Amino acid sequence: MFARTSGREVRAPDLAALQPTLILDALIGYGLTTSPRGVVETMIDWANACDAPTVSLDLPSGANATTGTTPGAVIRPAVTLTLALPKTGLAVVPTGVLFLADLGIPPQVYKEAIGVPIRSPFGRRFWVRLRPLPLKRA
């Protein structure tokens, strides 16, 4: 799908020459275990220095999904589109405007997998804006 857009893939050393209109953050996702390093840290720092808004998928790269702690560089998004269920760490880390996206997971799956009955907030929509949550200090 990306090939059908006007976007293009660039290498980290070439980032400084870019002037994007939108940045899509999907660098780390749910599996953060240590502070971002190397190319990922460089890309986070670059995105935060750009004037273009950043949209984070699931949660801002550099943030722990469960605790919201940020052991190093972290994306400062204008918008976060979290997937399936809000992550607990989103109550702590700045997310910008926060949306929840429907992945089509039946409510019965949540009940069987994690023992939590879920009532879908989506109706006929694919995403909903979550009410603003007060930020807690990590």
Predicted confidence (pLDDT) per residue in 86-114, tens digit: 899 999 999 999 999 999 888 888 889 88
Which SS3 state, helix, strand or coil, does residue 99 take? Answer: strand
What is the distance between the alpha carbons of residues 96 and 118, in angstroms, rounded to a whole number? 25
CA atoms of 14 and 20, how far apart (whole Å): 12
Q: Residue 107: in which H helix or E strand, if any?
A: helix 107-114
For residue 13, the model assigns a pLDDT of 83
Structure tokens at 91: 């109550």
pLDDT band at 44 (very low <50, low <70, confident <90, very high): very high
The β-bridge partners of 54 are 23
